[in-house]
A and B are shown apart, each in its own frame.
Chain A
Amino acid sequence: MNDVWQKMKEVLVDNLFEIGDLLITRDTRLGEIPDWDSMAAVNLQILLHDTFHVDLPLDLLQEETTFSELITLMEHPEKLSEVVRKFRESN
């Protein structure tokens, strides 16, 4: 988890335009990012794809989603379709 988190954090701080000076932790919710909106979600989607080669659907990148949840998906991409299915059922 540490490796994925370190890599994710590094990539986001360097490249996610909306993040500003926010100090992110695993528990940070995406909605806490200062300029978080649907456009920022696309930017995050692109960064995660370019870094971890995982295609997250946009509707998973919600304000309530935490980085911890994203780390789990990056570590276990085989669980992605199951998570997406559950997420969509519950929304």
Chain B
Amino acid sequence: MRSAVIASTGSYLPETVVSNEDLIQFPRAAIQMIGEKTGVFYRRVASDKECTSDLAAHAALKCLEKGGYMAAQVEGILLATSSPDRMQPATATRVQHIIGAKKAFAFDINSVCSGSTFGIAMADALIKSGYCENVLLIAAEVYSRIMNQKDFASYPFFGDGSGAVFFHAGNTSHEGVLHSCLRTDGSGSDTISVPAGGTMMPFAKMTNARFAFFKMKGIDVFNFAVDKGYEIVLQLLKEAETSISNIKCFICHQANVNIIQKIAHKLNVSVDRFFMNLSSYGNTAGASVLIALDEAISAGVVQKGDLIITVAFGGGLSWGANLIRI
């Protein structure tokens, strides 16, 4: 049986580091709340010359280079992003051009913060079906451009970054992406959104400038993330007929340290088994899982043969998880 096996990973974080103390637009007394509420102390911010496709291309090239692959070998490019370069065309097409993957087709997936887990499932499906021999999955976000810099309820918690995974076809059912669970609930589509700029509220008909920016209902999102993050892991384990004790590491969406701790608690596993880097990068939305996966592999936290779970939750509402043998 064919499976999508991880051949290589990569990630890219913009050079500019912004600490909580650097956020001078917010009152000093409130700065401490950022770390307490989310566990975020630093984030990276893209330069004025960089847009989402640039970050995506950096991660893609690092991923291919690390594994010794050429861009010309790539057959399909999937880009998970909820902060695209433009409303159209797909940001993935510019990435294809930048990295020189002339043979590949390229398209975007917008599942907001769940983008990486949905992307892993799609890459797996393309390979399992025999349509592709390999797929380059990239997740890239530049949320610093879609948020109001004065919104304390969102701006301090996010960061920019990108991650990539190059999957190739394997011929065993015991390695690579073993199973995925994907869920959405559109009744919550207003919970996390950028209200304006689409066909529902074109910029020309926008009644208030605040509609142009990212907005989330913080408390609703927190509760949703804890509940669904926990539920989807259990569902994945059940469907894959495996036990949580077999999981070496959980690569969870880096939304908030308190969310991750609560999910770990509900699953009755030590939070030490959840890889975390959000204190340094903040919430990089759809990119966070692939960035964390690359760092976990590079640091040796996750090694060949290990069984891991990637899990994410976000706008849509959407949530997903993947069981992967490295």
Cβ A43 vs Cβ B153 within 8 A: yes
A14 touches B209 (CB 8 A): yes
* 0 or 1 for each of B139-170: is its CB under 8 Å from A? (1 = yes): 00000000010111110000000000000000
Closest residue on chain B to residue A36 by CB atoms: B219
Which of B26, B152, B208, B219 is the one whose CB lies under 8 Å from A35?
B219
CB within 8 Å for A46 and B219 given contacts A14-B209, A14-B210:
no
**A37 with B219: in contact, given A17-B151, A58-B30 (CB under 8 Å)?**
yes
Provide the B11-29 mask, 1 if CB < 8 A to any CB of A, else 0.
0000000000000011101
A49 surroundings in chain B (CB, below 8 A)? 27
Question: Is A39 in contact with chain B by the CB < 8 A criterion?
Answer: yes
Residues in chain A near residue B213, CB distance under 8 A:
17
Q: Is A46 a contact of B153 with CB atoms below 8 Å?
A: no
Whether B208 pairs with A42 at a CB distance below 8 angstroms is no
A46 near B210 with CB under 8 A, answer no
User: In the complex, how many residue pairs between chain A and chain B have their CB atoms under 8 Å apart?
Assistant: 52
CB closest residue in chain A, given B209: A14
**Size of A's binding interface in residues, CB under 8 A:** 19
Interface size on B, residues (CB 8 A): 21
Residue of B nearest to A13 (CB): B208
Closest CB in chain B relative to A82 CB, distance in Å: 20
* Cα distance, A39 to B213, chains bound together (Å): 16
Q: Measured between C-beta atoms, what is the minimum distance from B184 to chain A in Å?
A: 22
CB atoms of B153 and A39 under 8 A apart: yes
Partner of A18, one of B25, B148, B153: B153
Residues of B197-236 at the interface with A, using a CB-CB cut-off of 8 Å, are 208-210, 213, 215, 217-219
Among A14, A17, A34, A38, the residue within 8 A (CB) of B33 is A38
A45 near B: Cβ within 8 Å?
Answer: yes
Provide a sorted-by-A list of 26 A–B residue pairs whose CB atoms are within 8 angstroms.
Answer: A14-B209, A14-B210, A17-B154, A17-B213, A35-B217, A35-B219, A37-B218, A38-B33, A38-B37, A39-B33, A39-B37, A39-B218, A40-B153, A42-B27, A42-B30, A42-B33, A42-B153, A43-B151, A43-B152, A45-B27, A45-B30, A46-B25, A46-B26, A46-B150, A57-B29, A58-B29
**B residues at A contact (CB < 8 Å):** 25-27, 29-30, 33, 37, 148, 150-154, 208-210, 213, 215, 217-219
List 19 additional contacts besides A17-B154, A42-B33, A58-B29; criterion CB under 8 Å: A13-B208, A14-B209, A14-B210, A15-B150, A17-B213, A18-B153, A34-B217, A35-B153, A35-B217, A38-B33, A42-B26, A42-B30, A42-B153, A43-B150, A46-B25, A46-B26, A46-B152, A49-B27, A57-B29
